[in-house]
Structure 1
Amino acid sequence: MGNKLYLGTMTLGWLVASPCAAQGTDPSSDIVVTGRKIEADANRVSLSAQTITGADLTQNNIITAQDLVRVVPGLTYTLSSYGTPVFTIRGVGFYDTSLAAPPAVSMSIDEAPIPYPILAQGMMMDLERVDVLKGPQGTLFGQNSTGGAVNFVAAKPTEDLSLGGRVAVARFGSVNGEAFLSGPLTSTLKARLAVKAEQGGAWQRSDSRDDELGDRAFLAGRLLVDWSATETLSFELNLNGWRDRSDTLAGQFVGLTIAPARLPVVLRSYPLSSGGQRAAEWDQGKSYRRDSDFWHAALRSELVLPGMTFTSISSYQHFKRNDLTDADGTALTVFDIRPIGSLEVVSQELRASGATRRLSWIVGGNYQHESVSDDALISFPVSSLPFAGVYAKTRQRVEAWALFANLKFEVVSSVTLEGGLRYTNEVRRFRACAHDDGGGTGAAYVSRVATLLSGRPVSVAPGGCATLNERFEPTEISDALRDRNWSWRAAVNWEFAASKFVYASVSRGHKSGAFPTLGATATSQFTPAQPESLLAVEAGFKLSLLNGGLQINGAGFYYDYDNKQLRGKKIDPRLGPLSGLVNVPKSRIYGAELSAQASLSPGLSAGLDVSYTHSRIDGPFMNYDGIGNLGEFGGEPFPLTPQWQLAGSVSYERPISDRMIGYTTSHISYQDKTNSALGELPLLTLPDYILVDAALGVKFGSGWDASIFVRNLLDENYATLVSTISPDVAIRLNGQPRTYGAALSFRF
């Protein structure tokens, strides 16, 4: 409560008196979103939409997709124990460690789908803006957008030669650089090349020795080529990719999750972490880093005919990784994870759209094929488990096609109706087995157990499949999920006065079923989570006041959730509670949001965003908490779902001379407490926290911009997850401490 009071007082003080918070957007300007496949003013669409411009991204030092949570209340980010990012909007998300886990928040670059969040790491580069759409977006973005959609809009090639760049140096030896070159190649051909590099920044410090972790080694690039073949036919080619050799992050050992008597002596007496923001621990002499590569090609073709436009978006993506992460927060090998995998995605969308004076429409279809190899080599020689490691191997192939339509009709000049419908047919095929890691200890253990339980000799070879079926035979499981579903949306938008709107909508979204990647000793652990669906009701308003100097938007929402997917526990008959996917039969979410953006005086603007989300598991739900205790969780909130999120910002600029403009920006964000797993255990609590960022700079008339900045000004010690991926220990994963630096940018 103290943090909430402090935040409210501090934000109010800034909004009234201080010209030093984050870059705001002139509320009178028309900001477009393409989330409905047709560009529209964000303050006129019948849904909650937030747009962050490229200028806002730069001045707020937002350089990764994770940073968006600081400026989009209702959006949360969690990095899973295997390094897979998880985005959640209004409590709708899917925390899982698998590479192939279908998300609940869809992502795209210029409307080309990015089907898995791990692929979006290189998207935050040379952007025109980012559109964040809240609530189910299944009618136009497809399934797996029950929480919402994030569309990254790349800065486009320019008519004239243009170049620009930015370099920033910061605490811990971090150096980030970005540059672009854009312009015409011929009278009908334009291109834009952008590159980005991140180096250094090792901010984690070992508790036991002189050692650091956290260096970035990330490279990304994008080439856009636009060709106006004729007056009615155009093509846009997007070639982008990235390479990541950064350190993986370690955690802090914060507690045991089983009785000490079951643990090796060296682990029973191992000291807990010192708890500092930089403190962490990992095994000495190992290279804990990522080895990931991604490349993507997308071609958008558009043919404009009288009264109608045909659009084709073709996309191919390839990703591979071979990472190593210390997941136990100690200098012992209690739980090391090496995710090894690859993704190949082919997608094609075809659509036609048109508009008359009162009617606009879209009809289309798409096809997507995915091939996923998702393995995990897990080592745990110093643990309670009776063998030293396991090599989980899974393969998935996904085939999906869909048909969709959307209509928008102006009933009278002030009332608009909108409706959308989508039919999806998906088949998700799955093969998996947990193999011995090659050392033979797992094979020997499973052989002994299977022989004892079956009453006949069972032998597993070193490196062989060690997952047992109901007859205690080593078996590679083969399964499939077939799903046919409808997503739909209906909305009404009423402009009751000039630039003053109210709207209401009802929609249904759908999310794919999911198979887990884990070291299963029983085939039952590979039981998939069934598809989930969400019925959403939302009503809101968008008001332009004071001659456009003040924009106030608000919304209230209610979600009825069926079969919510969770990473929970399943009981292994030999090893006890182990990770698995489960469905919560019934649950609900309700909440509200309020956003205000104001131009207070020439050069001074401010913003305040508030989000409240209340989640609840309905009825009886028996499962296991985060450390494997059986319990009844009806009435509990969802894990990783804070109730309150706030963001306040102010920016101010004024001329210093004829050729220089000084500016200050600052930003404050707050996230309420939550818990990492079912059971609301104190050990797994994530306390609330406040982050404050600020910058001071000078813009020169020649196109140069120099600034100094600080992130996490208060040096808040905050956690993003408490992980129990190891059956023996809990580890806390921290956000970064105070980071300060200087930046220089130019544009000609």
Structure 2
Amino acid sequence: MKRRFNGTQVIGAALAGVIGGVSLAGAGRAVAADAAEGGIPEIIVTAQRREQSVQDVGLSVSVLSGADLAAHHVNSVNDLQNLTPGLEVINAFGGGQPQFRIRGVGFNDYASNNTPTVGIYVDEVAYPLPIMTQGLIYDVDRVEVLRGPQGVLYGRNTTGGAINILTAEPTDVVSAGITGDYGSYNASKIEAFVSGPVSGTVKVRLSATTQQGGAWQTNRVTGQDLGNANRSAVRAKIDWAATPDTDVKLNLHYGRDLSDGSGAYVFNPIAQATGLTVKADTDPSKTGWGLSPAFARLIGADPSSKPFRNNSSGGADLTIEHRFEDFKLTSITAWEALNRKEFNDWDGTAYHDADEYFNSRAQDVSQEVRLSSTAPGKLQWVGGLYYAHETLREAFLSDFTDNYGFIANTRYHQTAESIAGFGQLDYAATDRLKVTLGLREEHEDRTLYDFTTSTIPYVGLGVGTASVPTGFTQTTGKVGVEYKISDPVLLYANISRGVKSGGFTAYNTLALSGLKPFAPEVLWAYEAGVKSDLLDHTLRLNASAYYYDYHNQQVQSVVIDQVYGAIGKIVNAPRSEIYGAELEAQWAPAHTGLLFTQGLGLSHGEYKEFKAVNTAASLATCYPCTAVYSDLSGQELGFPRITYNGSASYDWKLPGYSLTAEADYSYRGNLRSSLGSTYNVRGYWLANASVTLKPEQGPWTATVYGQNLFDKRYDLTRNFFTNADIAIPGRPATWGIRLGYLY
């Protein structure tokens, strides 16, 4: 039994409200529909740039269908973390800058200018800056999450992994659909599409979505609400069969985000310079904010404004595929752009201790050309070239008036240019043994231009420089072996090397020493695993174990300047290690309507060699200040040791109708902070459930759902800024109804 994802099937499933479990190696409820007829079907993915069953791919990859995403209210890439073992996506200070981590490999940075450790791709186009990934996810065919270094087959080189988002394709027949969702706090979402042929050679798909409301936080003093969504996006996909052997695909997309920002609650009292004290919040839904008249004038906002986003994003990509007799030529030309205007209040009070504003303009132009074999045979291959040029202009302003007496004004311009050649060979030595060899050669130049930090009013502090360059030339690759013990059981082992770009600490700094570039990080990954479909394809068990040898890990720390003291900076830890294991299971007893999924991730990481600045001891030497170091060898890296998720669902057949009940749950272990135990985040469980009704012969569906059923109070992250200890809380219990209609 084989299942390929296509737009009609996925949107139909989403509109039908088919409620999926967490898909670990398959496709959630898209699986269960067939499981009731006799087991778990094959899922066809393109994780290695060719169509393969996910169970035949010798690496750790999870797949989520469009139905899974709809059922679990996945609106952005951040929402994937509760559905995938080992994945974390947490926005810095609750703002718009996401911080990605897979298996503990991540990068904490609230600035906009550095590349992530996890590559994000939408329809095979790389989004090189994390802030560019924050658009709505809608009308999606599937999401593939790959763990471990990627670069042999992908445009960007990464150390942590890759997330591939594949949107739904135009269909061969006319189809259309709409879903409407309404829930707690007046949250609403509408998604619609229309698709089909417009001529004998041209097919078109138009899709759109809008998300509104949902504010659940309030100002602790005024009672004003915070957190309303106001996001919309549209996409047009045009497929043209130019010749029998040539396909041309154009993808045009645009999004706008005018939502409120997220608020922080204060978990320790704040002693103000005025002598007043802000009490700690006992209710995490309480927060605060405030704009000084001077800061409001500077950023062009009303002084009464709440934290806000005024962001727009758009792009176009053109894919041309030409099929020769034994191979295929693919060209992908893409342009992506983002305009960001975002105000956040990172002290969580009406005082002006850490009010932040970003004004960013980013764009990326890329070109990928690759050849891949299509003829059957023992040797399969893919090879190509990738080029990208990105630019970023940013103003980053911080209102420290109540704390330090000034507004910090940081501005800069950054460019990055990279070119790479990559390829992979797969050789089937026997019917059961396959050997893989991949190689990538990459060169990158990255330059920071016209960086300045000044103060308003001028207090004698500031720094400026014309340009600071960095870059690298690196060879990376992969060696792998796969062995099929039997048709349903695959063993695999891989050794791979990945590289993440170096860069610049481009937020407020007062000394040139803070602008010294940090070096690229390198990860050697060793992984072995097994994939199996057992009991007549009704039980799927996948397991993997890994060891990561981490060199020059990029870490948030400080450097000591003789005059200015401690300056926040990203530095390189010479050597770290991470090791762990994952177990994924799916059970669909034949002819029962039942589906169970389970996923468990265990990991541990620590520094093996890292002497970091001891800030308190260093500042005790001032003035002049001298750096004093502490040996952090053996200290744990900051990520949860345990991640767990699972689900159970059941389909009932009623006279003329079908009823589906589903419950899913997840656990994220304690997060130990490098800032000290005060900022540790406690582990937490979340549980969700839904019930869906649909007629056997009819186009409509209705779903009632609940998220965070037990109203668990939990924090996504804890941190501090200037004198405020703040936390970003997770959402409380919510309820809603979703209605769908498919033509």
Q: Same fold (TM over 0.5)?
A: yes
Report the Cα distance in structure 2 between the residues aligned to 1:20 and 1:246, rounded to whole angstroms: 29
Residue in 2 that maps onto 1:365: 385
1:272-300 Cα offsets, whole Å, 9 max, x none, are: 222x2312222272331001110010111
8 Å CA contact 1:180–1:195 kept in 2: the answer is yes
Q: Equivalent pairs: percent with the same residue? A: 30
Question: How far apart are 1:578 and its partner, in Å?
Answer: 3.2
Number of aligned residue pairs:
688
The counterpart of 1:38, out of the listed 43, 50, 58, is 50
Structure 1 residues 102-117: aligned runs within 5 Å: 102-117=115-130
Aligned to 1:278: 285
Shift of the alpha carbon at 1:675?
Answer: 2.7
Q: Are 1:265 and 2:292 an aligned pair?
A: no
Q: Distance in 2 between matches of 1:588 and 1:729?
A: 32
Does the 8 Å CA contact 2:471/2:501 hold for their aligned counterparts? no
Contact 1:425-1:483 at 8 Å conserved across structures: yes
Residues of 1 paired with 2:20 and 2:532: CA distance?
Answer: 26
> How far apart, CA to CA, are the structure 2 residues paired with 1:255 and 1:617?
30
Distance 2:617 2:280 in 1: 18
Question: Which residue matches 1:490?
Answer: 479
Length-normalised TM-score, structure 1 = 0.89
Which residue of 2 is the match for residue 57 of structure 1?
A: 69
Shift of 1:699: 1.6
The structural deviation recorded for 1:653 is 1.1
Q: 2:206 aligns with which of 190, 193, 208?
A: 193
2-structure distance, mates of 1:104, 1:620: 20
- Letter of the 2:391 partner, please give it: S
Change (3 A) 1:21 1:534: closer
Matches of 1:625 and 1:712 in 2, distance apart? 40
Partner of 1:6: none
Alignment-derived partner of residue 635 in structure 1: 634
- 1:682 counterpart = 2:672: no
1:152, CA displacement in angstroms?
0.5
**CA offset digits 1:286-328 (Å, max 9, x no partner):** 3310011100101110000100100000000111111100000
Question: Structure 2 vs 1, CA of residues 704 and 290 (structure 1 numbering), >3 Å: closer, same or farther?
Answer: same
Native 8 Å contact 2:511 2:564 kept in 1:
no
Q: Contact conserved, 2:329 with 2:372, CA < 8 A, in 1?
A: yes
Q: Map 1:327-476; keep pairs closer than 5 Å.
A: 327-354=346-373, 355-383=375-403, 385=404, 387-437=405-455, 439-440=456-457, 443-446=458-461, 466-467=462-463, 475-476=464-465
Letter in 2 for 1:649: S
- The answer as to whether partners of 2:20 and 2:71 remain within 8 angstroms in 1 is no
Task: Give yes or no for contact 2:315–2:336 (8 Å, CA) kept in 1.
Answer: yes
Aligned to 1:527: 516
Q: Which moved more, 1:22-31 or 1:325-334?
A: 22-31
From 593, 601, 607, the equivalent of 2:597 is 607
Determine the C-alpha separation between the residues in 2 that align with 1:727 and 1:43: 50
The 3 A distance-change label for structure 1 pair 628 and 247 is farther
Contact 1:20 1:652 in 2 (8 A): no
Per-residue deviation, residues 55-85 of structure 1 (Å, max 9, x unmatched): 1212222222111111101000110135211
Q: Distance in 2 between matches of 1:498 and 1:617?
A: 41
Q: Which residue of 2 aligns with 1:619?
A: 609
Residues 97 and 517, structure 1, Cα contact 8 Å, conserved in 2: no
2:334 equivalent to 1:309: no
Quote the residue 2:229 is aligned against: 216
Shift of 1:109: 1.2
Residue in 2 that maps onto 1:697: 692
Shift of 1:625: 7.3
| Contact 2:216-2:225 within 8 A present in 1 as well | yes
**Other-structure match for 1:719:** 715
Local SS of the residue matching 2:69: helix
1:746 maps to 2:738: no
State the AA in 2 paired with 1:747.
L
Counterpart of 2:687 in structure 1: which amino acid? Answer: V
Separation of aligned partners in 1, 2:601 and 2:97: 25
Aligned to 2:308: 289
Does residue 512 (structure 1) correspond to residue 501 (structure 2)? The answer is yes
Moved more, 116-125 or 100-109: 116-125
Distance 1:737 1:574, change over 3 A: farther
- Distance of 1:586 and 1:256 partners within structure 2: 37
* Structure 1: distance between partners of 2:408 and 2:610: 35
Residues 1:370 and 1:21: Cα distance change in structure 2 (over 3 Å): closer
Instruction: Give the C-alpha shift of residue 265 in structure 1.
Output: 2.9
Specify whether residues 164 and 502 from structure 1 end up closer, same or farther in structure 2 by C-alpha distance, changes over 3 A only. same
CA contact (8 A) 1:169 1:175 kept: yes
- 1:379 maps to amino acid: D
1:673 to 667, 670, 673: 670
Q: Pick from 137, 156, 163 the counterpart of residue 176 of structure 2.
A: 163
In structure 1, how many angstroms separate the alpha carbons of the residues matched to 2:308 and 2:184? Answer: 20
Q: Which moved more, 1:591-600 or 1:620-629?
A: 620-629
Change (3 A) 1:690 1:180: same
Q: Give the Å deviation of 1:574.
A: 4.4
For 2:173, give the aligned amino acid.
D
Contact 1:168/1:744 (8 A) holds in 2? yes
**1:21 and 1:694 in contact (8 A); partners too:** no
Whole-Å separation in 1 of the counterparts to 2:579 and 2:450: 38
Q: Distance in 1 between matches of 2:240 and 2:60?
A: 34
For residues 136-156 of structure 1, the C-alpha deviation after alignment (integer angstroms, 9 at most, x for no partner) is 111112444211101101111
- Contact 1:182-1:192 within 8 A present in 2 as well: yes
Q: What's the secondary structure of 2:429's corresponding residue?
A: strand
Could you tell me how far apart the structure 2 residues matched to 1:182 and 1:671 are? Answer: 39
Q: Under a length normalisation based on structure 2, what TM-score does the superposition of the two structures give?
A: 0.90
Amino acid at match of 1:51: V
State the Cα RMSD in Å.
1.9
Partner Cα separation in structure 2 for residue 477 and residue 530 of structure 1: 20
| Aligned counterpart, 2:11 | none
Q: Deviations over 1:148-194 (max 9, x none)?
A: 10110111100111001211111111111111000001011001011
Check the 8 A contact 2:574/2:610 in 1, yes or no.
no
Contact 2:429 2:435 survives alignment (8 Å) = yes
Aligned to 2:151: 138
Of residues 699-708 and 644-653 in structure 1, the stretch that sits farther from structure 2 once superposed is: 699-708
SS in 2 for 1:95: coil
- State the distance in 1 between where 2:336 and 2:681 align: 35
Task: Identify the match of residue 651 of structure 1 among 649, 652, 664.
Answer: 649
Give the superposition deviation at 1:21.
6.2
Unmatched 5+ stretches in structure 1: 1-18, 447-465, 468-474
Shift of 1:566: 1.3
2: CA distance between counterparts of 1:423 and 1:654? 54
Give the distance between the partners of 2:376 and 2:616, measured in 1 at CA. Answer: 56
Structure 2: 5+ residue runs without aligned partners? 1-18, 23-27, 33-38, 292-303, 620-628
Task: Tell me the SS of whatever aligns to 2:55.
Answer: coil
Distance 1:694 1:593 in 2: 25
- Mapped to 2, the partners of 1:626 and 1:137 lie a distance apart of 39
Residue pair 2:192, 2:208 contacting (<8 A) in 1 also: yes
Structure 2 counterpart of 1:281, which letter?
Answer: G
Give the letter for the 2:341 counterpart: N
Corresponding residue of 1:536:
525
Using the TM superposition, give the Cα deviation of residue 123 of structure 1 relative to its aligned residue in structure 2, in angstroms. 5.2
Report the alpha carbon displacement of residue 628 of structure 1 after superposing the two structures with TM. 9.4
CA distance in 2, matches of 1:693, 1:737: 12
Query: Which of 143, 163, 170 is the equivalent residue of 1:150?
Result: 163
Tell me how far 1:209 sits from its aligned partner.
Answer: 2.5
Give runs of aligned pairs for residues 550-561 of structure 1, distance below 5 A. Answer: 550-561=539-550
CA distance in 1, matches of 2:263, 2:252: 33
Aligned residue for 1:616, secondary structure, equals: strand
Deviation at 1:682, TM superposition (A): 2.2
Instruction: Report the secondary structure of 2:105's partner residue.
Output: coil
Q: CA deviation at 1:99?
A: 1.1
Q: Distance in 1 between matches of 2:21 and 2:177?
A: 25
